[in-house]
Structures are given as C-alpha cells and as structure tokens.
Structure 1
Amino acid sequence: MSDQKSSVLTKLRFLMPIILGGVIFSMLVVMPLLRSRNLPILQDTGPSLTGHILAGSFAHEQKDLSAAIKYYEVALGVNSDNPALLEKLFSLYMSAGDMDKAVGLAPLLLNKEQDVQQAQLVLAVEKFKDKKYEQAEAIIEQTRDDPFSVFVKNMFLMWAAYGRDEDELARAHAETLLGLNTLNTLARWNIARLFEALGDDKRANELFISVIQKNAQNNVMRGSSFFSDYMGFLVAQGRGDEAMMLLESHLPQKDQTPYTLDAYRVVETPNKRNALSPAEGLAMGFLELGVIFSGELPAEITLPYLHQALWLNNKSDKARVVIGELLTGMGDENRALDIYGAVTSSSVSRIFARLSEARILENLGRKAEAQSLLEKLADKETHAFTLQSLADFYRRDEQMAKAELIYNKLIDALGEDESLNWELYFYRGITLEQQDKWDAAEADLLRARRLSGNQPFVLNYLGYSWIDNGVNLYQGLEMIKKAVAQEPRNGFFVDSLGWAFYRMKDFDTAVQFLEKATELEPDDPEIIDHLGDALWQSGRQIEARYQWRRALALEDESAKQKEIEDKIDHGVLQDAAGAGSGTSI
C-alpha cells in the first residue's frame, strides 16, 4: 500500500508543474486573447462556464463543429442572457446548417438589440419557406441598407411578390435589382428565371443572352451550371437545334468537365422543364451568392447562404456539393463526406460528389477506398474528366504504369485543338520520367511547354529534370528562373533553382536559394536534404548534418531515410554535377 501511495505522490509531483502551467497559460494567454476578440463572455462567469467556452473555442479551431456546438450550448445554459454567447452559438448553428436551432436563437439575439443581419434573414426565410410572404417581407425590410443587403433584400422581395401573385410588383423589384448594378451576372440570371416563370420568354431570353455575351470571353461558361440552365430554356421552347449550335460554339468538348457534360445531356436527353417556385427561385439566388463568395469570404459568412438555399430547396444537390467544397477547404473533411454522401440523384452533382469523396479519402490516407471509388465511377461514367481523375490518382500514388495507360487513351482521343489539354502531356511526361522512359518523357514535356505557353509548373519540371539528369544545364536554369519569376513564393520552384546552381557547382548561390526554399516549405524533407548537400559542399559540415537530421525526422520512405543516414555518417560526393549527387561515400 505504501508503495502505491509513493507511486501516486511521485506522479503528482511530476504532473503538478504541468497542471499549474496549464492554469497559468489559461489565465495569462487564453483569457486575454478571447477578451481581445470582443468576447466578454468570460467575465464574472465562474469556472464551469469558462471551461466550456475554452473547450468550445478549441473545438471550433480544430474544425470539430459538433463538439464546439455542444460546449457552447452548455455554456449558454449557464449564462443564457449573455449576448456574445448567443451570437457565437447562432453563428455555429448557421455554419452547421442547423436551421431550426438558429431560428430558435434569432429572436433572442434581436431582443438583445444585437446587430446580427443573419438573424433577421433566417427569420424572414423561415416565413418565406412557409409561404407567409407578407410576414417575410416585413422582416426583410428591417435589414440594413448597405449595397449587399439591398441586393439580397430586393431579390428576396422579388420572389416574395411572385409568391403572392403580385406579378407587376415582382417585375418592379426585378428592375430595381438590375438598376443596382451589383453582381450583374447573378442578378440577370436570377431575374431571367423569374420572367420565365411569369411566361415572359422574350425578356427571359434577352437576360440569358446578356449573361452569355458578358462572360463568353472567359472561363465562366466552362465552370458554371448557367449554360446547362439556358440550354434547358431553349429546349423547352423547341429550340433544340439552336441550343446544340450554341453549345458546340462555346463548349466544343463534351466531357471536358461535369458542367459541359451536363449542358450536352440537357439538349440530347431533354426532360420537362418546370417554372421555378418562389422557394426554388430564392434558393437559386442564395446558392449562387455562396458560389460567388466561396473563394473570397470566410466560410462562416458564405455557409449560411448555402445552408438556407438547401433549406428552401432540399433537392438542391448543387448546394450540397458547394457546401462540401467549403467544408473541405475548412479542414472539416468528415462533415464534408457526410454531405457528399447525401448526393444521390442522377444529376451531374452526383459525379462531382463522388470525385470529391475520393479526394478526401485520399487525403485522409484511405487510399484503397479512394481507388475503389474512382475505379467504379470511371467504369460507369467513362468521361474524360472521370478517367483523368483516376489517372491522376494513380500518378499521385506512384502507380505510373496504370496512369500512363489512361493518359495514352485520353491523348489518343484528343481533337485538333490540343491547347486546352496541355496538362495531359505534362502528366504523362511525369509518369514516363518516373518510369525512366526519358526520351518519351522529354518529348511530352516539351509539347506541354509549347501548348501551355510556358506554364510555370511545366517549366519547373522540365528544367529540373534536365538539370537532375546533367543535361541542358543552362537551358534548364533559364526555365526555372522563368518559373520562379512567375511564382516567387513557390518553395518547390525556388528549390529547383537552388538545385540547378548546385549541379553547376555554384554552391554558395545554391545555399542562398535553398535556404529561401526551406523558409517557404519548412516541412519538406527533400528540400531540407538538398540544403544539407549544398552546405556540405560549401564546407559547412556541421550545418549540413543538422539539416540532414531535420530531413531524416520528416522523411517517411525507408530507402530515402537510409540515404540520409549514410550522408550524416559519411557526407556526399564532391562531384555534384555528376549523376546521383548526394550519394554516400
């Protein structure tokens, strides 16, 4: 018994500094940090509340939205009158898409006179969803008058008026929306669907055409569901031939992307096109707002619009796909997998969802599942983009022979215009180079360079390959310099430049660039290994061994670990320009 007590006391003596350190850290660092973020929710609250708030904040930072919500719910139960807590939990509900709970908190926020625009909007959407349009209008009229809020307000009022059969009022709101000159593509597209619903096909067509004319010169058409939407409009009017001519003019490659495939499917296998309901029209507007801002604004701002789009139109698989993309970008990959799994329709969104699921599974290290999913999809949907997704997976997984076979098939099927497909030659060149088929690889990489107009990744790979093979050193150096000039903060490009100088025995210059590369990519073992080689050749052996030890700690592959261990013991060959630089002696 005394031995047990002694053991416990020993553990307590060991743990006490850690426990006290954690308490002091919370008092001196975490608490002031949270207060500095305008969260007065920690003041005069007691230990239980503080602990749940800290735990909720940590869970949110770790992308565990479900856990964060649970902790903040407990905290709000302790202090239900705290407006900052109310606002935080409301924001979490909106990000998670728990609209019923968000609606429950919204009146409490407004009663606290909190200026939370989303609280008014979600209450208005709830009424709109239940077809209580006049009540919805009364709430939305109370929102702010900044340009973006006015845009959302008029779009909302437009569809609410349509829902009340106030067609002229709906048209008036549409004209106001156009007059704002804000988010023109979205406004015109959304209003075109309203006029189509009103039976004014001429005005709808004018608006559709204006969007095409505005965006035809860029890649918007290739990456948007707008085109397939307009194709459906034309087919419904019996203008299928015109639709096909327009498609072949703007999107000549049928299966280049899921969007282009969808546009062709609408024309080739037409289905009955129904006019949008008020809820579907507003949902479409919110969805496109989310799409537009998904790459520009934080997800906490964008997600509420997407979730409300799905709330208004639960059949919107496109909303699910966009939400999944945002969650993936936030690092919440498990939640993204859940929402992708809910995409079950036969629409193009299903293909998107399966491809996205596979990429997440690969990122999570579940490569066998990812490969199985992609192989099944490519077997069923034999389109260029599904086959390339499988080939790209094989290439990343170093199954080069399998990847090469698919790239061969895709390249053989190319038409006359190869410029849009330079990456196929680039990726096949990589697979060939990795299989020591250098002559064929070089031909593909040179072709990719010509077709891409000196795309920096092509320049870097070809230049690096030349230098690493000890050929065309000066040409390779100039290529890499061009790549670095285009992307000066790309650590891998800067590493290539340093390695070029290394192979040309300019070790001091090599060290300068390789040090910069390790600053840009501090956790890449190959770059750190290169820096070690350059330091060794510069006579800085102690520093070289330090860098090699860093590289060894980060390296996963056993063969490369053995190479680094040999260099730590013996250094590197003096002939840096010869084959196999870094070989142990």
Structure 2
Amino acid sequence: MILLRCIVVSSLLALTASCSNSGGLRHLDPSLIHNGRPTEAEAYSDFLIARFAAMTNDPQKAAEHYALAIDTAPEKSGIADRALFASLLSGDYREGVRLAQRANALGSEAALVRLTLAVEALRVGRDDDARPMLEQTRFGPFNRMIARGLSAWRVVDTQGTDAAVRYLEDGLSGDPRLDSATLYMMGLIEMSAGNDDTALSVFNTLWESGARLAVGVEAHAQLLASRGQRAEALEILNTFDETVGHNASIARLRKAIEAGERIKVRRLNPDEGAALAVYVPAAALMSQTDDDVSAVYFVLALALDSDLHVARSLWAQSLSNAERWDEAISVLARIPDTSAFYATSRGQIAWALQRSGRSQAALAVAAEALDHSPDRGLKVQLADLYRTVGRQAQAAELLDQIIREDARYNREDWRLFFARGVSRGELGDWADGERDLLKALTLEPDDASLLNYVGYSYVDRGEHLDLAMDMIRRAAEMEPNAGYIIDSLGWAHYRLGNYEQATEHLERAVELEPGDPVVNDHLGDAYWQTGRKLEARFQWRRSLTLDPTDGERDRIEAKLVAGPSIPLVKQAESDAGVQLPKPVRP
C-alpha cells in the first residue's frame, strides 16, 4: 500500500511538472482531479482489509470492514453475509442482528442470516417474524436440523406440547441412531410439560440405541432419580463418564445422587429449549471439525439462554483452538461460581494462560479454583498442567490423590494411571512408573497412544524390545498417519540395528511431523548409520532450528562434531519380554 501511494504521488508530481511547463493547470480537465479515492477503491480497500483480518484471526476487525464495504460493494448481500459471520464469530450478537437485517433487506438467502433473525424474533416473542425465517426447504441438512429444533420450541410456545411433538414426529426416519437429536428434543419437550412417563420412554429408547447426548442423559438420570430409581440413574451417569468422558453437569448430578439429595427435575421453558436446539448440533459439529464455525452457533444459543454455561465453555474452547486466548478467557470469566461449569471454566482459563506463555498465572488460577471447588475434573486438569510445565512431583502427588479418591467408588481410570506413570518415569522412578503404565494397559489395552508410549519407553531403555516392537506396530496399525507413532516404529528398528527399515519409517514420520525436532533428529541418526552423512548433518541442523530442549540441543550439537554414539541394543537380563496381565475392562 505504501509503494502504491508513492507511485501515485510520483505520477501526480510528474503531471504537475508537465502542466507547469505548458502554462500551468488552466487547460486540465477538472474531472481528472479527485478529492479522495474513488468509491470503488474505498470498497475494495475495506474488503481486502476485512479478508486479511479474517485470515489473520481477527474477526472483530473483519466484521467492521466488511460492514463498511457493504454499501459500496458491487455484490452487497454477499459482503453483508460475510460481515454477519465475522460479527458473530467475534461474539457481537447485537451487531450480528443488525447486519442480518441489512443482509435480509439486500435479498440474502444465506442460512445464517435467517437463523440469526429467527433467534432474535424468538428472543423478543415475535412468532410471526420467526416462522418464515425457519422455513426448512431453504436450509441445508445441518442448518435444517437447527431450524427444526427451533421451530419445535416455537410451536411449544404458540400451540402446545402435543403439536410440537407431532411436528417432530413428522420428520423421524424410524432409526433411533439417525433420529437421536430429534428424539432427545422430543423427550425434553415432554419433560418440560410434565409428561414424565412419555419422556422416560423416549430416553430409554435412546439409551438402548447407544445414543449418548449429555443434556439428554442428564435429563434421563434426573427423571430416574426423582422417582427413586437412584441405582439406575447412577449406572447411566457412570457409563456416560466411562464411554464419553467428563461432563461437569453430569458429575454434579452424580454427586448429588450419591449424597442422597432430593433430585429436582428441570423443566425447560421455550427459550431454554430453543437454545439447546442450537447448541446440540453445534457441539456435535465442533467434535468433528477443527475450525471455529461452531462458535457462531454458540453465540446464537447464548442469545436465547445466557445461563447455558456449557455453550459458553465450548465457545471458549473454540476460541482457544483458534489461539484467541484473551477472548477465550473473557468468555470464561462470565461463568459464575454457582455454575456446574465453574471449575471446568477455571481449568480452561489456566490452560489458555499456559498456552499463551503465562505459566505462573495459569498455575495460580488453577490452584485458587481448586481451593474454591475441589472438583475431580479440575484436579485432573491441574495435574496435566503441572506435567506440562515440568512440575512432575506435584503432578504425581495430585494424581495419587485422585486415584485414591476414585478407589472409594470402585472407579479405575486408565488415563490417570497413564499420566502418573509418565510423571514417575520423568522423576526417575521407572519401577513404579512401569507398574502404572502396565496397569493402564490392563484397563485399556487398545489405546494407540498408550501402546506407543510404553513401547517407546522400552525401546529407549533397550528393554523388552520384541514386546516393544509389537506394541508400536499395533499402535501404528490403529493410527497409520500419526507421525509420533511412526517415529517410534522407526526408532525401534534403529535400536535393533535395522537401519534401512528405520530410515524408511523415519522419513515417513518426518513427512507427517516436519516441525518436530526429535523426529528430525532420529532421521539424522538413521541416515548416519546408513552412510548418508551429509543428509544426517542436514537433519540435525534442521532439528536445531525447531526449538529442541536444552538437553536435546547439546546432544545434537555434539553429533554434528563427532556423529552419534553406537546405539545401545539389549534385552532385559531377567527375561526376553515382560508378561502383561490379562486385560480387564473397567
């Protein structure tokens, strides 16, 4: 832009000089002189700034400049659509509504425009405005699912529960697995009206089909516990935790049931139900993609129900995934300490601080939150945080505590034994570390990361190499495109002296993980052993540019002078391989 302006200025100076030599500017056409840039230039300038802002992860600036370009752009509605998306992505719902109204007035057919206007109409009670915006023939499959859920809760508000259920039934395929989102919404609608027998029948059908939606499972367990069926409720909640993972609301409900508290069934109002109709598909979308598109839907859900803290938690996670750390922290800071997601949110804040280079602040936030709420999930997050910053002793101590607490409830989580085994190994306590890792394998024998870690640990120690090779091969079969696992496979061959095979696998590993200093270092060693010394030094020099640890840097620099030492290859003296206990599923 600076260069362009210099060229323009130079051209004008040349023109002025020419005119002066021919009698000044008396005969110059006034239309050639502009007070400022042409309108088209302004539009393109704003558009390009907006595009650059969008590509560089600044949706707020993108929204601002897309909005400025709308009136002067040749294709106004398309620019308005972009402005709306960027505005919601930045979390500015009010501006998003304004831009959706502009886009609609310009004739936009974008799904996000209609959904935004529908959400706003529902939020302020304008059913007549919401209905045409939710016409399903105008949506693709994903947005049609959201529109259908919103419409169902609109019908609840205007025509009653029976009409809403009939509306949802018309769209069922007959397969509970395909219809799970619709059936969960139907169950929540029945429950909101107090039709608990019908709701329970729907939830039972879904559970038996294998569907596992957190908000639906929570409602299912609430109904069971409120009727005195506490054992059945706990079985459902424990199964969800083991098969899907930790959820703060479910953890709070389980704790209340275990404590013998009276369980109250939550009856949703139409706005709360409509918020879930947007949130549920968005959460599913987020689990399947790495981009931040789901964030715009979380913003819409929160416009309908500002207390839907799980949406705020996932919105912040999408911001963190996009490395918008401060925005993520700002979103999470609005979750109150009365929420089931308070402890989770503080763990997320701690991780956002850690990943943005503020380790001490991260540890302080996590520790303070733990004092306020001794939540198991937060303890796990803090243990992971300790391991990440190298405080392995504190990590191991906290993991000890969690494992002991779990034992009181006959719960064994392989991930905790895995993490504690890693920490103990880092602390030099390989005997106890190995015991934890083997315990984790008895509980979860088919996890690729666990198999790879144990196998790699044995290879690196020169122990149980046949078993180690078998573990790593199994991991590679499960995840053939995981660079760190292919690196382990190559390194195992290297330690066994199979240098040609090692080179083949390590070259593949570098293709998959080109920015990993360890993988590049390993390939350099393999090249050296096969006589390719020039290429070896190239890989070691490249590894030095990839921010290795201080210890790795010293070792690589030494190899650049003298080459690698002969690799240690041995089996454990006691036997040819360790015998794993028979796997036991928890």
TM interval, shorter chain, is: 0.7 to 0.9
Give the corresponding residue for 2:183.
188
What amino acid maps onto 1:64 in structure 2? D
Greater mean alpha carbon deviation, residues 297-306 or residues 486-495: 297-306
Match of 2:452 among 449, 460, 465: 460
What SS class does the counterpart of residue 288 from structure 2 fall into?
coil
Q: Does 1:231 align with 2:221?
A: yes
What amino acid maps onto 2:180 in structure 1? T
What SS class does the counterpart of residue 554 from structure 1 fall into?
coil
Q: Does 1:448 align with 2:443?
A: no
Aligned equivalents of 2:327, 2:508: Cα separation in 1 = 37
What amino acid maps onto 1:350 in structure 2? Y
The superposition leaves residues 476-535 of structure 1 with CA deviations (integer Å, 9 ceiling, x where unpaired) of 222212211211111111111221222222222222222211111111111111122222
Say if 1:336 and 1:516 are closer, same or farther in 2 by CA, change over 3 A. Answer: same
The answer to whether the 8 A contact 1:91-1:300 is kept is no
The superposition leaves residues 316-340 of structure 1 with CA deviations (integer Å, 9 ceiling, x where unpaired) of 2122112112222233332222111
Aligned equivalents of 2:416, 2:150: Cα separation in 1 = 45
Q: Does 1:375 align with 2:370?
A: no
Say if 1:294 and 1:180 are closer, same or farther in 2 by CA, change over 3 A. Answer: farther
Aligned equivalents of 1:256, 1:547: Cα separation in 2 = 41
Give the corresponding residue for 1:100.
94
What amino acid maps onto 2:189 in structure 1? L
Aligned equivalents of 1:204, 1:246: Cα separation in 2 = 15
For residues 353-432 of structure 1, the aligned pairs below 5 Å read: 353-415=345-407, 421-432=413-424
- Give the Å deviation of 1:260: 3.4
What amino acid maps onto 2:43 in structure 1? L
Say if 1:170 and 1:539 are closer, same or farther in 2 by CA, change over 3 A. Answer: closer
The answer to whether the 8 A contact 1:133-1:163 is kept is no
Greater mean alpha carbon deviation, residues 484-493 or residues 144-153: 144-153
- What value does the CA root-mean-square deviation take over the aligned residues? 3.2
The superposition leaves residues 1-29 of structure 1 with CA deviations (integer Å, 9 ceiling, x where unpaired) of xxxxxxxxxxxxxx979x99xxxxxxxxx
Say if 1:464 and 1:169 are closer, same or farther in 2 by CA, change over 3 A. Answer: closer
Q: Does 1:258 align with 2:248?
A: yes
Give the corresponding residue for 1:113.
107
Say if 1:450 and 1:180 are closer, same or farther in 2 by CA, change over 3 A. Answer: closer
What amino acid maps onto 1:251 in structure 2? N
Greater mean alpha carbon deviation, residues 291-300 or residues 68-77: 291-300
Match of 2:84 among 90, 96, 99: 90
Q: TM-score, normalised by structure 2?
A: 0.82
Aligned equivalents of 2:390, 2:290: Cα separation in 1 = 35
The answer to whether the 8 A contact 2:219-2:265 is kept is no
What amino acid maps onto 1:376 in structure 2? E
- Give the Å deviation of 1:311: 0.7
Q: TM-score, normalised by structure 1?
A: 0.82
Say if 1:368 and 1:506 are closer, same or farther in 2 by CA, change over 3 A. Answer: same
Give the corresponding residue for 1:141.
135
Match of 1:242 among 229, 239, 247: 229
- Give the Å deviation of 1:449: 2.0
Q: Which has the higher contact order (CA 8 A, sep 6+)?
A: 2
Say if 1:433 and 1:137 are closer, same or farther in 2 by CA, change over 3 A. Answer: same
Aligned equivalents of 1:493, 1:298: Cα separation in 2 = 21
The answer to whether the 8 A contact 2:81-2:113 is kept is no
Aligned equivalents of 1:156, 1:90: Cα separation in 2 = 20
What amino acid maps onto 1:572 in structure 2? P
Say if 1:72 and 1:321 are closer, same or farther in 2 by CA, change over 3 A. Answer: same
Q: Does 1:351 align with 2:346?
A: no
Aligned equivalents of 2:432, 2:202: Cα separation in 1 = 50
Name stretches of at least 5 consecutive residues in structure 2 with no aligned partner. Answer: 8-37, 572-586
Name stretches of at least 5 consecutive residues in structure 1 with no aligned partner. Answer: 1-14, 21-43, 580-585
Aligned equivalents of 1:169, 1:386: Cα separation in 2 = 43
Q: Does 1:474 align with 2:466?
A: yes
The superposition leaves residues 145-195 of structure 1 with CA deviations (integer Å, 9 ceiling, x where unpaired) of 655555444433332233235455334324324468695222222222322
Give the corresponding residue for 1:6.
none
Aligned equivalents of 2:428, 2:440: Cα separation in 1 = 18
Count residues with an aligned counterpart: 534
Q: Does 1:62 align with 2:62?
A: no
What amino acid maps onto 1:263 in structure 2? L
What amino acid maps onto 1:115 in structure 2? E
